[in-house]
Amino acid sequence: MSEVSLSEKITTTLALVPSGVVVSYGQLADLAGLPGRARYVGQCLKQTNDIVNWHRVLRSNGHIAFPENTLNYRIQCEKLCSEGVDVVNGRVNMKRFGWRPDIYTLLSQLKY
DNA sequence: CATCTGACCTAAT
DNA sequence: GATTAGGCCAGAT
């Protein structure tokens, strides 16, 4: 059986998040089998800049995690908007564009 | 070894 | 809304 690193669990799980859907750091941690470790997700994303779907990760309150005047902030806004996700004041309405049960079920099928 | 820091979260005020 | 306090944990100091 192959050993899967923690960061690998996170990146593979994130890669399954569909376009037009966003997740919080905490949600992603849970789905990757690392409950309560939202902070670790942040560390992983910071490490490498080429993680698939990195832009679909937001804070639990829907806010983009970067300061407003940064380049990354603008890029994330741009990418989300191009996917049909409304970003208002650097913030996404998690109620409308956030997690849906069917998608949750899909990701929950991940086994490591 | 102690403390600080951070792409974080929840609950309570 | 905002703030505080506690939780989380790998790295840096």
Q: What is the pLDDT of residues A15-26, one digit of tens each?
A: 999 999 999 999
Class of the A6-99 domain? mainly alpha
Chain C nucleotides with an atom closer than 7 Å to a protein C-beta: 7-10
What is the SS3 string spanning chain A? CCCCCHHHHHHHHHHCCCCCCCEEHHHHHHHCCCCCCHHHHHHHHHHCCCCCCHHHEECCCCECCCCCCCHHHHHHHHHHHHCCCCEECCEECHHHHCCCHHHHHHHHCCCC
* A18-CA/B10-C1' distance, Å: 26
Residue A102, pLDDT score: 78
Cβ of A108 < 7 Å from strand C? no
A25-62 pLDDT per residue, tens: 999 999 999 999 999 999 999 999 899 999 999 999 99
pTM: 0.92
* In chain A, where the domains are located: 6-99
